[in-house]
Amino acid sequence: MNTNSIRKLFEQVRAGKVSPDEAVQRLRHLPFEDLGFAKVDHHRALRAGMPEVIFGQGKTPAQLATIFSRLAKHEGNILATRADKEQFAAVKKKVRRAEYREPARSIVLQRDKEKYGKGIIAIVSAGTSDIPVAEEAVVTAEIMGNDVERLYDVGVAGIHRLLANRRTLTRARVIVVCAGMEGALPSVVGGLVGVPVIAVPTSVGYGAAFKGVAAMLGMMNSCASNVSVVNIDNGFGAGYVASLINRL
C-alpha cells in the first residue's frame, strides 16, 4: 500500500463507499511499515550519490554478474568490493561500462559524477601492504562524490615521512587512516589535526598481530580523542562514513 492506495481509501470514505469504521479496520490490518512515506522520500534524498554496494567475496563470478547487472538497471552508482579479476570479467560481459580498480579489488559503475562532498577526504596508510584497504576507502569515497588525497607509507616508525606531508592532513575535512601491526598511526594523525579521523585496522602483520586484532585494540584505545574505528580491513565502511561526514 503506497500513497496512492491510501488516497484511494480516503476517496472511498468520502464517497461513502467505505465507512470510517471499516477504513480504520483496513488500516489496522496493513503492515504499517507500508505507511512509511517519509521514509521512502527521505531515503530517496539520502540515496543521492549513495552507491549500491555488493560484497564480492564468496560469490561466484556468475552470481556477482547477475546481481551487478540487475542493479545496473536502476540509476545510480554501483560498487562491488572484494572482487577479483575473474569476477570482473563476468560483470564486464553484462555491464560494459563497469570498470575494475585493481588496487582496491573493486568493480565500479559510476554514472552519477556529481560532487557531494564539500571538502577533501585524506586517505592515509601506514605501509604499502595496507594499500588495498586504503584503496577500497578511496574508491568508496570517490564513487560517493568526493575529492580524495592519498598519503601512503607514512607509518609511525618513520615519523618524518608523515610530518613532511602534514599539509595534506591539514587540508582534509575528514581523514581515513589504515594501519596494521600495532595500528598506531591514527593516534599520531589524530594528534596533528582537528577533524574527525576514521581508523581502519588492517590484517597486515603476523604472529601477535592476530590478523588485525592488535591494530583494532590499539585504535580503540587511541589517546587522540578524534578517532573512531571501523572493522578490520573495512576500507569500504571507512570511506562510507567519511563520505557522510564530508557531505554535512
Map the footprint of a second copy across residues 15-74, applying CB under 8 A. 16, 19-21, 23-24, 27-29, 31-39, 42-43, 45-47, 50, 53, 57-58
Q: Tell me the number of residues near a second copy by CB under 8 A.
A: 109
Q: Which of 192, 137, 134, 142 is nearest to 167 (CA)?
A: 192
Residue 117 found at the interface with a second copy (CB under 8 A): no
**Are 155 and 182 in contact, with CB atoms under 8 Å apart?**
no
The two beta strands, 52-55 and 174-179, are: unpaired
Residue 14 found at the interface with a second copy (CB under 8 A): yes
Helices and strands of the chain, counted as H and E runs: 11, 9
Per CB under 8 A, the segment of 70-78, 91-99, 107-115, 231-239 that binds a second copy is 231-239
Instruction: Say which residues have a Cβ less than 8 Å from residue 79's Cβ, sequence separation at least 6.
Output: 51, 52, 53, 54, 106, 107, 108, 139, 140, 143, 236
Query: What is the contact mask toward a second copy in residues 126 to 155, using x (rule: CB under 8 A)?
Result: xx-x-------------------------x
Residue 236 found at the interface with a second copy (CB under 8 A): yes
The two beta strands, 174-179 and 147-151, are: unpaired
Residue 214 found at the interface with a second copy (CB under 8 A): yes
- Restricting to residues 90-109, which ones interact with a second copy according to CB under 8 A? none
DSSP class of 51? P
Residue 165 found at the interface with a second copy (CB under 8 A): yes
Q: Which is nearer to a second copy, 44 or 96 (CB)?
A: 44
Residue of 65, 80, 182, 235 interacting with a second copy (CB under 8 A) = 182
Residue 159 found at the interface with a second copy (CB under 8 A): yes
Cα distance between the two ends of the chain: 33
Neighbouring CB atoms inside 10 A of 132's CB total 20
Per CB under 8 A, the segment of 69-77, 86-94, 95-103, 169-177 that binds a second copy is 169-177
Residue of 65, 71, 123, 230 interacting with a second copy (CB under 8 A) = 230
